[in-house]
Amino acid sequence: MNYLSAIGSYAIMIREVFKKPTKWRIMRSLILKEIDELIFNSLGIIIFIAIFIGGVVAIQTALNLTNPLIPKNLIGFATRQSVILEFAPTFTSIIMAGKVGSYITSSIGTMRVTEQIDALEVMGVNALNYLVFPKIIAMLFYPFAVAIAMYVGVFGGYLANIAGGYSSSGDFIEGLQMDFIPYHVTYSFIKTFVFAFIIATIPSFHGFYMTGGALDVGKASTTAFVWTSVVIIITNFILTQLLLG
């Protein structure tokens, strides 16, 4: 029953976010600030993870090609498919759920504990629109970060393949170009947009409606990360079945 109540509260929160909007002059500065905090400041960890994930995929694929009849260009093909379809959009989103989600929950939760949200509501400001809407708009730029992760992941696989001597540069590039389906990139970006909305709203929900004191902010951040990750994984399964099944 508590889960149903939480889902209902979450749906009500989403509705309230888009009601009584804040003045554009103020909202514009809030959106730019959130883009810097949520997207730009996350590029470093996204690039770092993507390049090593791509390298690991290439190495593991190469080490499992024990049959001499299997062409070496399969390394590039497997790296491309793994990075574009799953690792770039899904694995990166799990990491972002920890980094960005914890920041969102802790920042909003701290405002709740220090009664800053109450002050906004007393002044007649729609606190949900003021706090959550800029984060939703900022996360719409998240697919650009995932696109970078795709490129860097494939490049990491290329570097690992060449450094390990598993195949030639030509074979790897031939594998990258082999049987390429542009729709797979579209599918990944559709998932990314959905994940971006989840990352922006679920941590906001846990931060906005948290109760207790300063110590409970950390507990709310942990809970937000767990539920954001669970929803991302379930949504990933559903979207994969709908879009690729």
Give the tens place of pLDDT for each residue, 12-54: 999 988 988 888 888 999 999 999 999 999 999 999 999 999 9
Q: Which residues contact 196 (CB under 8 A, 6 or more apart)?
A: 93, 139, 140, 142, 143
Residue for token pair 């979207």? 239
Look at residue 33 in the predicted model and tell me its pLDDT.
92
C-alpha to C-alpha distance for 181 and 183, rounded to whole angstroms:
5
pLDDT at 236 over 60: yes
Look at residue 142 in the predicted model and tell me its pLDDT.
93
pLDDT at 1 over 80: no
C-alpha to C-alpha distance for 117 and 126, rounded to whole angstroms:
9
Cα 123–Cα 128–Cα 133 angle in degrees, nearest 5: 120
Q: What is the mean pLDDT of residues 84-99?
A: 91
**Is-above-0.85 flag for pTM?**
yes
Mean pLDDT of all residues belonging to the chain: 89
pLDDT, tens only, 119-162: 888 888 888 999 999 999 999 999 999 999 999 999 999 999 99
